[in-house]
Structure 1
Amino acid sequence: MTVAVGDIVALSVAGSGQLRWVVSGFLSNPSGRREAKLVRKNMYGTYSSYQRNTEGLIPIETPVFNSGDKVWVDGNRGEYMSRDGDIARVMLAVRRRQFTGVGFIEIRPAIATVSYHLLVVENRKV
């Protein structure tokens, strides 16, 4: 079974056991084999990445977001709108930010474009 950008896969990594990753892209290695670029959030809240031959990946889930689904983008609430290739569009909700000396400022709804694989990392258990 082949995997695509945004798919959740399992991979055994020496010393860490079997971990879940999200496919962020593909490339060819010098021998001509297809490799997947993988990403996941680590325990420190930053991202870890890994590159592995696609034949060694175990497909777990192909996440699907429907128009209107509630999602998070970089910690901001929003609604999933659509996907165009590896890019997703999300309507961010109204939010407020506090600025020193000014107080709170309301930020109106806005459309954000985000890499689909990062949307999966933030909105699915990986």
Structure 2
Amino acid sequence: MAGFSRVTVPAGTIAPSMRFIALASYKGTEPQTNRDGSQKLVDGKPVYPLRGLAVKVLQADGTWQVVNDVSVKARVAKDWPQLTELVPVGSVILTPYVKTSGNGYSSVAWSLVVDDLDVAK
């Protein structure tokens, strides 16, 4: 069975085909923690879960589609403008994983860790 592994890419390589939309304020967001309550670190740095962030992916026909099963974390949590398209800056860590639903079906989901997000131009 093939294993999944993460890949780190410059944000500029995925920015043209992926957009994020902040649906909530992230001011005061706490860093993610492990089950034991310790701070979760990615490459030695804390990450902030960005729940309520819509993720859109550019389709082959030029339209944008909101996708599910993508969790996004950032190395910073800012109060980005709500309902504004954001793009990743810095680097992005993409990690695929298998998500199993309660009815026994499995699908591939994605975890993204972005250095930061900025307003799309």
TM-score tier, shorter chain, comes to under 0.3
Answer 1 or 2: higher relative contact order, Cα 8 Å, separation at least 6. Answer: 2
- Which of the two has higher C-alpha Rg? 1
| TM-score of the two chains, using structure 2 as the length reference | 0.25
| TM-score of the two chains, using structure 1 as the length reference | 0.25
